[in-house]
């Protein structure tokens, strides 16, 4: 699997640019990864200066960082079903997620591969539920044609059957292993991740639909047609594409 080599300054510019798009009263989806973390820190600074927002974290890691930075948090039940939820509703009464900000592992036009941090299931729920989804990347993520392995979160019992189907549709699945301990990566949802190499993905939409149809697949990392704005940070500034 290819790894990200973007500069931290470029990631920071992208994250801070997207954080500027957050306005008073917003419910904000908080993505996962080093670029999204810059956005969370920037939103935290704005909250400490008086901005009134609520964050919906997409992982344990983003939840922890947002808490550390003083961002009030809310869960999806409270945002979308405040009457049934026992949590306090958002300040606007609970009308959904205004904006979600998240990173990407690779992006071609507006088709994205996510899941380098194994958080793509919740990331996709939050991105799809948001009125606007802002993607924050550095130039190393931008390509003409997607060719990174697609992370596929699978129920542990379905690992072998999903892997067999992936091979049948032309992919090469590899179980993601934890780097610092002996054993596989386990997602926040208690599942496993197959990183699936399909070579160049000329047409991501049908592959996304096919992957989603495999029994035992919880979610895959192809995000097609979800992004509204790309905040592309570089060593000089930020380019916003919509």
Annotated binding site for substrate: 32-35, 102-105, 114-117, 141
**Total residues in contact with ligand 5RP, by rule CB under 6 A:** 19
* Contact flag: residue 115 with ligand 5RP (CB under 6 A): yes
Residues listed for the chain = 242
Our CB check for ligand 5RP shows the closer of 52 and 147 to be 147
- Separation of alpha carbons 194 and 55, rounded Å: 29
Supply the DSSP symbol for 60: H
Our CB check for ligand 5RP shows the closer of 47 and 61 to be 61
* Contact flag: residue 231 with ligand 5RP (CB under 6 A): no
Q: Contacts with ligand 5RP in 21-50 (CB under 6 A)?
A: 31-36
Question: Pick from 230, 223, 215, 235: which is nearest to 159 by CA?
Answer: 215
Among 43, 65, 97, 119, interactor with ligand 5RP by CB under 6 A: 119
List Cβ neighbours of 26 (8 Å cut-off, separation of 6 or more). Answer: 53, 54, 98, 99
* Contact flag: residue 173 with ligand 5RP (CB under 6 A): no
Our CB check for ligand 5RP shows the closer of 78 and 192 to be 192
Q: Which residues are catalytic?
A: 123
Q: Minimum CB separation from ligand 5RP for residue 238, in Å?
A: 15
Our CB check for ligand 5RP shows the closer of 16 and 102 to be 102
Q: Give the start-end residues of each E strand in 82-233.
A: 97-102, 106-108, 111-113, 130-137, 150-154, 172-175, 192-197, 217-220, 222-223, 229-233
Q: Is 142 exposed, middle or buried (0-12, 13-18, 19+ CB in 10 A)?
A: middle
Question: Pick from 216, 239, 221, 241: which is nearest to 229 by CA?
Answer: 241
- Lay out the site mask for ligand 5RP across 94-113 (x = CB under 6 A, - = otherwise): --------xxxx--------
* Contact flag: residue 117 with ligand 5RP (CB under 6 A): yes
Judged by the rule CB under 6 A, the positions of this chain that interact with ligand 5RP are: 4, 31-36, 102-105, 114-120, 123
């Amino acid at each position: 699997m290819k790894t990200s080599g973007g500069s931290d300054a470029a990631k920071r510019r992208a994250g801070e640019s997207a954080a500027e798009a957050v306005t008073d009263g917003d419910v904000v989806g908080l993505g996962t990864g080093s670029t999204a973390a810059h956005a969370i820190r920037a939103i935290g600074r704005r909250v400490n200066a008086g901005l009134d927002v609520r964050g919906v974290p997409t992982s344990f890691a983003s939840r922890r960082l947002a808490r550390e930075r003083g961002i009030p948090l809310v869960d999806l039940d409270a945002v979308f079903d405040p009457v049934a939820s026992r949590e306090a509703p958002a300040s606007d009464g609970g009308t959904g997620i205004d904006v979600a900000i998240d990173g990407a592992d690779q992006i071609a036009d507006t088709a994205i591969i996510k899941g380098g941090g194994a958080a793509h299931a919740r990331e996709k729920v939050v991105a799809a539920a948001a009125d606007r989804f802002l993607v924050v990347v550095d130039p190393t993520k931008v390509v003409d044609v997607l060719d990174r392995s697609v992370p596929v979160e699978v129920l542990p019992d379905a690992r072998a059957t999903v892997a067999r189907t992936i091979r049948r549709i032309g992919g090469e699945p590899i179980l993601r292993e934890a780097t610092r301990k002996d054993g596989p990566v386990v997602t926040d949802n208690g599942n496993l991740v197959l990183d699936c190499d399909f070579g160049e993905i000329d047409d991501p939409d049908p592959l996304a639909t096919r992957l989603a149809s495999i029994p035992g697949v919880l979610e895959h990392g192809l995000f097609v047609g979800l992004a509204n704005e790309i905040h592309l940070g570089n060593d000089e500034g930020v380019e916003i594409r919509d």
